[in-house]
Structure 1
Amino acid sequence: MARHLTAVPAPADPLALLPQLRAALDGAAPFAVLPAGPPAAVEAAAAVLRPEQPLEDGADLVVVTSGSTGGGRGVLLSAGAVRASAEATLRRLGGPGAWLLALPVSAVAGLQVLCRSIVGGTDPTAPAPGESLAAAVARMPAGRRYTALVPTQLRRHLDAEPAALRALDAVLVGGAATDPGLLARAREERVAVVTTYGMTETAGGCVYDGEPLEGVRVRVTDGGIELAGPVLATGYRLDPEGTVAAFVDGWFRTRDAGVLDEAGRLTVHGRLDDVVVTGGVNVAPQAVEAVLRQHPDVVDAVVFGRPDDEWGQRVVAAVVPMPGAEPDLATLRPWVAERLGGPAAPRELHRVDAVPTLHTGKPDRRGVAAVVTHRRS
């Protein structure tokens, strides 16, 4: 008999999903969580999921990707892959512990916080609306305590309440590149920060601090990162061609650029699709963003490429200024050039109030590019 997917709205209390998630992890009731947000985002996710169509074999959870490099996709995850990821994470961190859910459950990182709680036999805690991190941590059960954040959250909590972060036995940080300066600051504050690399197609983070979790294999082919192991998804919802292209002989082609050192430690350089080729030189936007955030007049930054008649592409930066500051190209171009070389220095600059994010918490590069393009038209 054909199995069908149940698509549920993200509940106001995300812990209400626990019974349904337990059933999915037992292979009994496949489901997906629609993102919270504007109706258009919910409708787009539902269009990807198409619950009226029979579910592919082997899938127990379907998670819609953020669409950071294009349209979102429904990733087919088996209960075995999700459990393998959760179990490997708990082993790496030193054993089961209580989890603080600080990410949306429509994204794999948030969903995995609940899965790790189920697998580890612990009760997760979800902050109440407007509740401080310190108050939420104080409500967590005694014993080992963990959370997962995106870099923007880590930066905000370091500014507001670093002591609450120090009270946690591990703070996983992923979903987007974490600036070396931010990591250094967190470690100076004695926060047990762990960088994670992975994606929905790997049931969440599968490389911690550059080292793959137990059972995960990593290789770099023609500059692109490929991953294998028990955490892999089975493919994409109703997209056999996309599945065949991305999942090849047991390996997932991530479309991320990176290198492995002699010890097998992975360094990620960003999306292959995001590289800006300016004057024949490849520029990684994430590297430029990291340097811009180190400037005393800049709070946050997003970098992308735009067609240019002379350079092929030019580097464009959108920055969130520090209160009272007005950073300009004359200030920021030499700042970047001194650290990354002339080609990486932005040739176009926009000041924005904030960097919009996708439902996963990742920076919405396409959204920023659309906003600044509209300004110029």
Structure 2
Amino acid sequence: MMESLTLTGLLKQVAGEFPSRRALSVSGKFDLTYARLHQLVEGAASLILAGGIKAGDVVALTFPNTVEFVIMFLAVIRVRATAAPLNSAYTADEFEFYLSDSESKLLLTSQEGNEAAQAAASKLKITHATASLTQAEAEAEAEVNLSLIHSEPDPHSVAKLVNEPSDVALFLHTSGTTSRPKGVPLSQLNLASSVQNIKSVYKLTESDSTVIVLPLFHVHGLLAGLLGSLGAGAAVTLPAAGRFSASTFWSDMLKYNATWYTAVPTIHQIILDRHLSKPESVYPKLRFIRSCSASLAPAIMARLEEAFGAPVLEAYAMTEATHLMASNPLPENGPHKPGSVGRPVGQEMAILDENGVQQEANVSGEVCIRGPNVTKGYKNNPEANKSAFQFGWFHTGDLGFFDPDGYLHLVGRIKELINRGGEKISPIEVDAVLLSHPDVAQAVAFGVPDDKYGEEINCAIIPREGSDIDEAEVTRFCKKNLAAFKVPKKVFITDSLPKTATGKIQRRIVAEHFLAQISTAKVPKFGA
């Protein structure tokens, strides 16, 4: 029973149950079975021990989405150390912050290395090592190499190590869209619980297969795409380029018999746009498509379902909950409701007012959770812990309500709600209306300071290719579909919007950008 309380134990169980099934592929290059993946992880774990890493040490990893990343990530947590995956696009200053905040002892990169990460590690006197998999004709001959060995690896040293549910296995930072990123330690128990929740709600089994479209340094791709699949004995394919490519996505999905995929709304929109401009001759028959990490407008959901003939299940997740908190069910388990993020999965959830009193159906309050998947607290941040853990619950910072069927509807981040003269406006609701216009490809509503009302609502849109939609048309459409006080007073038309590494539009940065540009006639590109 202890094995199922740790992710490492769960994966060992699966390797024993499905040794010859495909676990991990790199598109067009090679496949690894569960037995082979397990051997490679154990071998890499003995190299890490020989490199001087001990239980409780933090190892930072910065890789594209490669097989080396998967093996090294699992090997780090196997030796009871903590894996801290980092975005390889960070600047040297950002790497310096994340490496020092996580107190990393070692930086692992691919053989090509990462200049910015290495510069930061060297400044902080953190050892750097590279990991590579020797490409062999037969996958059975592939071997992991690590450029940091203090002593001869002892294969028996790993066998003696027992992973505990309380071991901190993963260290991530919140995306920090409203404040300085907070460090989130997640235990083996948190990871195992989340994987079980993902498996159960989507009924993932060894017959399933997916292609990873999201970066594995983020909790969505790592937990829902990769670990949820591996914990079910299902197959995972990594794109050959090491990252999502719209041009190879469907051929990979077909070639590897994919049954589902999970993505953020921005990527769903890219996939949809490609379908409209360059449709495939044939699409795989999918059990479901999953959307998470940002609000999916009902209009986009309807277009996805129509285009690909599969139910689109919107879910709700956050790093502190080791990803999944709520999800719309598969069709056989109940209706999926557009505009709702579904029902709680594997944890308790309540809507609380500011005094900690639970609210009835249809009454908004803060979404709060507790369960074995929830972090025990932020690292070295007593202030954040004090406000996040109150009345025996973890407070998400999201405003929402349950409908009478127990489905959660999110109103928005508490800090992002727009207060226009006392009238509270949910930017998510305005986003959904903007995105239902056939000529709008991407959209975001945001609050700006206003002398008369305190705050006023503006929006920015990216038009669909070939469309000549203007500000007047957007305003007319909003007046028809929104209460007068919710209609954006200014519409910016642009060809780019700032996004996080996972494709989530950064509402606060959009607001700052357009406020700064308000006096100029032409709106420049972001980053220009």
**So what's the TM-score if we normalise by structure 2?**
0.65
Question: Of the candidates 153, 157, 176, which is equivalent to residue 271 of structure 2?
Answer: 157
| Partner residue, 1:14 | 66
Q: Deviations over 1:319-344 (max 9, x none)?
A: 11233545444322232132220111
Residue identity matched to 2:320: E
Question: Structure 1 residue 355: deviation in Å?
Answer: 1.8
2:347 corresponds to 1:216: yes
2:448 corresponds to 1:306: yes
Question: Of the candidates 291, 295, 301, which is equivalent to residue 183 of structure 1?
Answer: 301
Sequence identity (%): 28
User: Runs of 4+ in structure 1 displaced over 6 angstroms?
Assistant: 162-165
| Partner residue, 2:134 | none
Question: Of the candidates 227, 231, 235, which is equivalent to residue 115 of structure 1?
Answer: 227
CA distance in 2, matches of 1:328, 1:91: 46
2:311 corresponds to 1:169: no
Residue identity matched to 2:95: V
| Partner residue, 2:184 | 75
| Partner residue, 1:50 | 103
- The answer for unaligned runs of 5 or more in structure 1 is none
CA distance in 1, matches of 2:55, 2:268: 43
Tell me the SS of whatever aligns to 1:268. Answer: strand
Q: Identify if the C-alpha distance between structure 1 residues 179 and 248 changes in structure 2 by more than 3 Å, giving closer, same or farther.
A: same
Question: Structure 1 residue 175: deviation in Å?
Answer: 0.5
- The answer for unaligned runs of 5 or more in structure 2 is 1-53, 106-123, 125-165, 329-341, 354-364, 520-528
Residue identity matched to 2:312: V
| Partner residue, 1:94 | 203
Tell me the SS of whatever aligns to 2:498. Answer: coil
Residue identity matched to 2:83: F
Residue identity matched to 2:426: A
Residue identity matched to 2:452: E
CA distance in 2, matches of 1:216, 1:165: 35
Worse-matched range after superposition: 305-314 or 61-70: 61-70
Question: Structure 1 residue 29: deviation in Å?
Answer: 2.1
Q: Identify if the C-alpha distance between structure 1 residues 254 and 13 changes in structure 2 by more than 3 Å, giving closer, same or farther.
A: closer
Question: Of the candidates 82, 85, 102, which is equivalent to residue 194 of structure 2?
Answer: 85
Say whether the 8 Å CA contact 1:76–1:233 is kept in structure 2. yes
Tell me the SS of whatever aligns to 1:236. Answer: coil
Say whether the 8 Å CA contact 1:7–1:46 is kept in structure 2. yes
Q: Identify if the C-alpha distance between structure 1 residues 166 and 71 changes in structure 2 by more than 3 Å, giving closer, same or farther.
A: farther
| Partner residue, 1:195 | 314
Question: Structure 1 residue 41: deviation in Å?
Answer: 4.0
Question: Structure 1 residue 288: deviation in Å?
Answer: 0.7
CA distance in 1, matches of 2:100, 2:516: 27
Tell me the SS of whatever aligns to 2:238. Answer: coil
- Pairwise CA RMSD: 2.4
Question: Of the candidates 352, 376, 382, which is equivalent to residue 240 of structure 1?
Answer: 382
Residue identity matched to 1:120: A
CA distance in 2, matches of 1:366, 1:293: 19
Q: Identify if the C-alpha distance between structure 1 residues 362 and 44 changes in structure 2 by more than 3 Å, giving closer, same or farther.
A: farther
Tell me the SS of whatever aligns to 2:192. Answer: helix
Q: Deviations over 1:154-173 (max 9, x none)?
A: 12212324767753323210
Question: Structure 1 residue 315: deviation in Å?
Answer: 0.4
Q: Identify which of structures 1 and 2 has the higher relative contact order when contacts are C-alpha pairs closer than 8 Å and 6+ apart.
A: 1
Residue identity matched to 2:301: L
| Partner residue, 1:133 | 249
Question: Structure 1 residue 146: deviation in Å?
Answer: 2.8
Question: Structure 1 residue 255: deviation in Å?
Answer: 0.8
Worse-matched range after superposition: 38-47 or 160-169: 160-169
> What number of residue pairs does the alignment pair up?
370
Question: Structure 1 residue 278: deviation in Å?
Answer: 1.0
